Amino acid sequence: MSSSSVPGTNVAPITFPGIVSGIDYNSIITKLTSLTLAPTNALNAQLTTLNNANLELIKINNMLESVQNAIAGLSDPSIYSAYDATSSNSALATAKGIAGQVATPGTYVIENASVATSTVVTSSTSVGHKETDTITSGTYAGLASDTVPLADSYAAIQPNNGTGSSGLGEITVDGVQIQYNVNAQSIDQIFTNINNAVHSAGVDASFNIGFQAGTDIVQATGSQPITLGSSSDQGNLLSVLKLDQAQNNTTSITGTSGVGGLSQTASLDTGNDANLLTPITSGTFTINGVKISVDATGDNIASILAKINASSAGVTASYNAATNRISLVNNATGPQSIVLGASGDTSNFLSAVGLTSGSGATTAVGKQSILSVQNASGVLSTVYGGSNAITTAVPGIEIDLTSAITSPVSITVAKDTTKLVTALNTFVSAYNAAIGEINSASAPPIVSPVPPGTLSTGSSQSFGGGVLYGNADVQSLRYQLTNIVGGFFGGPSDAGYNSLAKVGLTLDDSFSTVTTSNNGQLSNGGSASPGSTTGATIQNTTYQGTDGQLQPLNTTTLLAALQANPNAVSDVLNGASGLTQQLGTYLTSVTGAPTLLNSGPVGNIPTVSLLQNFENNNTNTIQNLQQQIKQITSNANQQANNLRSQFVASETLISGLQSEQQQLAAALGFTVSPSSSSS
């Protein structure tokens, strides 16, 4: 037989017990050993209970740390003095409370307002070559720009033919489609082709497109309304001619600016120097004291504008293709200047693109915001601001203007309780979860009487109950938490506001627990089975008193308290003797984690926290039980070994006696059968 299940440490891999004596001594040893090991069953059950208890203590500890975090939210002083404001017309102005500032509830009326604007510097349009100028360098030097291929001219917007299969551009004028090639045809040729096509189609014999006299601004005229462009067009000719944003469907259509001018995408050191009259040099230039670098061999105007926007100069730079002008807009509103250039500048970028006063730039100085407001008492005052966020018109309130106001807009100021209510609800949720867990873990088992005839008379059975039932330390923890929450808070001068109940938080005044009834008799007349829970009616029974949990926040009570005495509410919840201080200090000692209030940590962090001490006691008991189990197991193995040695010795002795008996019988001439040899 296999010896794997036989107790003891001196068991051979394969044994045949009782082969001589006929006695299965392994069975006897197993039975005796099981009796010796019987006490370990109870010890192992205790181990399981204690290990589960420690896991439960860790869970409770984590939940109480959540309470500490919720207490931290209640310690923010701004939630007790927060105000909010609403506007009767949010399209014109919005309003909100300023954190940490006190406001006066009431209705304020903005009679009129003008918004703040930013200072804007706009470049000159005379810094780039016109489309009709003579080209100064390169392959077409000495030729008029309007007579060379459009792609090689002084056009400010780089022309293209589009992506059509023909490789040619297409433009539709009065329903007539005309093809063009910017790489081979000049702007004058393209004008001629358009005029001829419209005339040949018989649409408008007086139609003409070309430059206005003495300028490079394109104008199209006719005897009837003109339509330019179609969804099927190819290329960007309308944009190049600055006609894409002009008023369409009239008898005279004029471009928004000249065709020529600076090119924002052409490299500064190739071709026609980005069409600028004065080439841009490498180096640095300065805006509001911030240096911007220029590399004439790699930059173009677009990349330099991007550098300005990425810098800390405090302006936004942009290029308007329709007007062919660069603008610098102050990021801040109000009459703040934009300081362009400095004595150490080494690049001529600002003057070359026409952003200096000497090169023809124009400056529109930003304006202050102006707001006339009537306060809750009817007094009218006028307030000026550098921005559209005005914080001095209504105390404790920021008004943000989004548009000019010409008719009254009301701003209603009231106490803002949303953050306080949220913080209180968060605390109640965390606190009730922790107390609920403690109550469940320490709940007593249900004792059910067993009816006569099932077990011995007067016996009972129990089931359920928490893993920490009977733990006086945990019960003491719950009572202490309940006493703190249900105790007194606030200062001596808070006029009756001295508890959480006064601000809308009260403890439960009743609770339910599971009980049994019917003396273990089933409704059908049967009785309980041993070890089952079906022998009695299980029900919830309600008792007067508290289980330590808080009822949901009564916001009506809270708002009334805030209206009557806001300082007292703050003292009860967050004063020197308030909830956050008292409960926070205690929980620091319970969990060992600091309670971090807005004003700093409270309580002294112990060397060993209260719950850790409970765990340590359990752990010590666990180690003691494990030692006992080890000793009992060792004793059982020793006992099994001794018994096995004795049985094996007996087997050996019997075997020797049988051999001697057989030898003696043989000498005397007797025959001894195996069955009689052992008698």
What pLDDT, on a 0 to 100 scale, did the predictor assign at position 44? 87
Q: Which helix (H) or strand (E) holds 29?
A: helix 25-74
Cβ atoms of 240 and 277 within 8 Å: the answer is: no
SS3 of 500, please?
A: helix
- Check pLDDT > 50 for residue 671: yes
DSSP assignment of 195-233 equals HHHHHHTTS-TT-EEEEPTTSS-EEEEEEEEE-B--TT-
What is the distance between the alpha carbons of residues 150 and 140, in angstroms, rounded to a whole number? 12
Place of tokens 């929980």: 587
Query: Binning pLDDT at 50, 70 and 90, where does residue 457 land?
Result: very low
Q: Considering the domain 157-254, what is its CATH architecture?
A: 2-Layer Sandwich (3.30)
> Among 50, 40, 68, which Cα is nearest to 589's?
68
Rounded Cα distance between 469 and 507, Å, is 23
Q: What is the CA radius of gyration of the chain?
A: 49
DSSP per residue over 378-391, as a string?
A: S-EEEEEESSSEEE
pLDDT: which is higher, 327 or 648 = 327
Split at pLDDT 50, 70, 90, the class of 525 is very low
Mean pLDDT calculated for residue range 104-123: 95
How many residues make up the chain in this entry? Answer: 679
Distance (Å, rounded) from C-alpha 613 to C-alpha 61? 12
Question: How many alpha carbons lie under 13 Å from residue 320 in its C-beta half-sphere?
Answer: 16
Give the Cα separation of 576 and 338 in Å (integer).
52
Q: Is the pLDDT of residue 119 over 50?
A: yes
Token representation of residue 288: 């509001």
Q: How far apart are CA 168 and CA 166, in angstroms?
A: 5
Please choose, from the candidates 329, 328, 334, the residue with its C-alpha nearest in 3D space to the C-alpha of residue 115. Answer: 334
Lowest model confidence (mean pLDDT) among 107-111, 343-347, 583-587, 670-674: 670-674
Most confident among 72-86, 191-205, 460-474 (mean pLDDT):
191-205
Rounded Cα gap, residues 237 and 161, in angstroms: 8
Per-residue confidence (pLDDT) for residue 465, from 0 to 100: 77
Of the listed ranges 197-206, 282-291, 488-497, 544-553, the one predicted with least confidence: 488-497
Residue 63 has pLDDT above 60, yes or no: yes
Tokens matching residue 595? 């309670």
Percent pLDDT > 70 in the chain is 87
Residue-averaged pLDDT of the chain? 87
Select the more confidently predicted residue: 78 or 16. 78
Q: Is the pLDDT of residue 120 over 60?
A: yes
Closest to 9 in 3D by CA, of 29, 27, 35, 28 = 29
187, 153 Cβ separation under 8 angstroms: yes
Instruction: Provide CB contacts within 8 A for 658, sequence distance 6+.
Output: 20, 677, 678
Distance CA 613, CA 350 (A): 75
pLDDT of the residue at 554: 95
Q: What is the mean pLDDT of residues 427-432?
A: 96
What does the pLDDT average to over 116-133?
A: 94
What is the average per-residue pLDDT within 357-379? 93
Question: Which pLDDT belongs to residue 32?
Answer: 86
CA-closest candidate to residue 402, choices 412, 389, 411, 393: 389
Question: Is 347 in contact with 314 (CB distance < 8 Å)?
Answer: no
Q: How many CA atoms lie within 13 A of 90 on its CB side?
A: 4
Contact assessment for residue 273 and residue 280, using Cβ atoms and an 8 Å cutoff: yes
Which residue would you say has higher pLDDT here, 541 or 305? 305
Locate 167 and state its tokens: 């490789």
Q: Residue 18 — very low, low, confident or very high, per pLDDT cuts 50/70/90?
A: low
pLDDT at 511: 57
Structure-derived torsion over alpha carbons of residues 262, 264, 267, 268, reported in degrees to the nearest 10 = 50
Using DSSP's 3-state secondary structure scheme, residue 244 falls into coil
Instruction: Indicate the range of 110-119, 507-516, 645-654 predicted with least confidence.
Output: 507-516
Position 347 scores a pLDDT of: 96
Nearest to 567 by CA among 78, 70, 72, 81: 81
State the burial class of residue 13 (Cβ atoms within 10 Å of its Cβ: 0-12, 13-18, 19+): exposed
User: pLDDT for 126-172, tens place per residue?
Assistant: 899 999 999 988 889 999 999 999 999 999 999 999 999 999 999 99
d(CA 383, CA 634): 92
**Domain boundaries, given as residue ranges, for the chain:** 83-116+368-415, 120-125+265-364, 157-254
C-alpha to C-alpha distances, 262 to 130, 238, 319, nearest whole angstrom = 9, 18, 10
- Closest by Cα among 467, 418, 409 to 438: 467
DSSP 8-state code for residue 78: G
Q: What are the tens digits of pLDDT across the range 602-658?
A: 999 999 988 898 889 888 988 998 899 899 888 888 888 888 788 878 877 877 787
Q: Above 50 in pLDDT, residue 179?
A: yes
**Those residues with Cβ within 8 angstroms of residue 453's Cβ, 6 or more apart along the chain or in another chain:** 527
Question: Which residue, 201, 193, 196, is CA-closest to 175?
Answer: 201
For the chain, first and last CA: distance in Å?
A: 27
Question: Whole-angstrom Cα distance, residue 498 to residue 258?
Answer: 79
Residue type at position 284: T
- Residue 184 predicted with pLDDT over 70: yes
State the pLDDT confidence band at 497, using cuts at 50, 70 and 90: confident
Lowest average pLDDT, out of 80-89, 324-333, 513-522, 593-602, goes to 513-522
State the CB neighbour count (10 A cutoff) for residue 242: 25
Per-position b or e across 398-418, b if 16+ CB within 10 A of its CB: bbebeeebeeebebebebbbe
Q: Of 30-39, 189-198, 494-503, which one has max mean pLDDT?
A: 189-198
Which pLDDT value is given to residue 470? 83
